[in-house]
Amino acid sequence: MLALKNLKKSYTDAGEQHTILNNINLTINAGDSISIQGASGSGKSTLLHLLAALDKPDSGEILLNNSQQPNQGNDITQFTEKEADAYRQFRVGLIFQKFNLIDCITVMENVMLPAKITGKVQGEYIQELLDALDIHRHINKLPSQLSGGEQQRVAIARGLSHQPPLLLADEPTGNLDSKNSDLVSHLLVTTCKKLNTALVMVTHSQKVALLTQQQWYLDDGRLTQI
């Protein structure tokens, strides 16, 4: 689905160049579940931003295998703003550490945002998602009326409401206590599996990482499978 080839990214700080990602290679197939661990500042979020076409590498490619054009590779690093917007809206779901829910609208309205934007509103699928994440009884509340674990479950539902083939999660359990971290990470992995959504999850937790099929580690700009 996505093939990362020789990705490089560096930042210049006070005239000094720091290589954050150095020749990253990774293939993400449909339905894969992948965790990425690494020390703080090792470039995990930078890598997810590249996958979401929110940022561009210095060099390298991220080839998207488009199901509508099976023989054509599309390099998302070369996308125009408009193409990147469409890629994010239709192909990617995003979940962040701090939930990032919109507090002046209900839980259901939050969940439905990506689905409404893409016009992919499928009632049965949404019900299945709400069931899988056990948030039915909260749909008319405001996010602030929920616990941290419940809010993160809503964020997962929002990340998946438009049925993206790829879900990117940046430390999705980083703000939860260990009990909720276990619950939410387990739900995240099993929900993606059920929906055949590829998951790339950045995490600090070895325990959470072990829930995914592939564990990768980012250190000194290099990504290695562990």
Q: List contacts with ligand ADP (CB under 6 A).
A: 11, 13, 20, 38, 40-46
Q: Which does 38 bind (CB under 5 to 8 A by kind): Mg ion, ligand ADP, none?
A: ligand ADP
Considering beta carbons, is residue 47 or 112 the nearer one to Mg ion?
Answer: 47
Q: Which does 46 bind (CB under 5 to 8 A by kind): Mg ion, ligand ADP, none?
A: ligand ADP
* 8 A C-beta contact, residue 95 and residue 161: no
Closest contact distance (angstroms) between CB of 88 and ligand ADP is 18
CA atoms within 13 A on the CB side of 218: 28
In angstroms, the CA 135 to CA 129 distance is 9
Considering beta carbons, is residue 37 or 185 the nearer one to ligand ADP?
Answer: 37
Range 31-90, binding Mg ion (CB under 5 A): 44-45
Considering beta carbons, is residue 77 or 97 the nearer one to Mg ion?
Answer: 97
Residue 120 DSSP one-character state: -
Q: Length of the chain, please?
A: 226
- Give the pairing type, strands 92-95 and 166-170: parallel
By CB under 5 A, is residue 10 in contact with Mg ion? no
Q: Is the alpha carbon torsion for 92, 93, 97, 100 positive or negative?
A: positive
